[in-house]
């Protein structure tokens, strides 16, 4: 999320701080999102008012129409949408946000697309089932779609850690 703030603020946030006079930076996530998203907005100085909690549909997935409406409302109000957070499986219900639709909206509005892998990232290594975000992200050119992946439970994922070669 820090990278998203730097990339989308349009000025040197680190030097100048968060400047609401340029338009409040706002982000979007599902009402079912992991609590770390709100904590991150707080820690980054974006404020909890800068995080839009998007209602969910009957399957507890982010409501895509509500997401689009919230973005257009914020733009009309002079705010600066900068990121959207999707979940490949929510902690509360295991609901899988429509990553394809969220990716398209992120591209349309030039938003950073952050995939919150607090729970669903474990499926990335599944030999049985295609992870819900792999297909939508693999067709997205990196230059047009910044993406962050947040994994809060690395102990449950099989990573191969490699020590970087030391430079003398």
Cα–Cα distance measured from residue 19 to residue 92, given in angstroms and rounded to the nearest whole number: 34
Cα–Cα distance measured from residue 120 to residue 93, given in angstroms and rounded to the nearest whole number: 11
Running DSSP on this structure, what letter comes out for residue 122? Answer: G
- Helices 99-108, 64-76: axis angle to 10 degrees equals 20
Query: Residues 13, 76, 99, CA angle at the centre, nearest 5°?
Result: 75
Q: If DSSP codes are grouped into helix, strand and coil, which group holds residue 113?
A: strand
Helix ranges (H only) for 10-153 are: 13-16, 36-43, 64-76, 99-108, 134-138
Find where tokens 């430079």 sit: 167
Look up 34 and say whether it is catalytic: yes
Which of 34, 79, 114, 139 is catalytic? The answer is: 34
Query: Would you state the torsion angle of the CA atoms of residues 129, 27, 155, 138, taken in this order, to the nearest 10 degrees?
Result: 40
Give me the active site residues, please.
34
């Amino acid at each position: 999320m820090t990278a998203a703030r730097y990339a989308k603020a349009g000025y040197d946030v680190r030097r100048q701080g968060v400047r609401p006079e340029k338009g409040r930076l706002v982000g979007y996530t599902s009402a079912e999102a992991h609590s770390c998203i709100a904590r991150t907005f707080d820690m980054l100085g974006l404020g909890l008012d800068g995080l839009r909690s998007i209602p969910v549909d009957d399957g507890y997935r982010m409501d895509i129409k509500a997401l689009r409406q919230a973005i257009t409302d914020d733009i009309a109000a002079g705010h600066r949408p900068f990121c959207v957070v999707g979940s490949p499986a929510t902690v509360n219900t295991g609901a899988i946000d429509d990553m394809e639709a969220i990716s398209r909206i992120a591209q349309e509005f030039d938003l950073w697309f952050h995939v919150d892998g607090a729970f669903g990232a474990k499926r990335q290594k599944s030999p049985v089932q295609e992870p819900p975000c792999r297909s939508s992200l693999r067709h997205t050119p990196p230059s047009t779609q910044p993406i962050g992946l947040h994994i809060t439970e690395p102990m449950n994922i099989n990573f191969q850690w490699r020590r970087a070669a030391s430079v003398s």
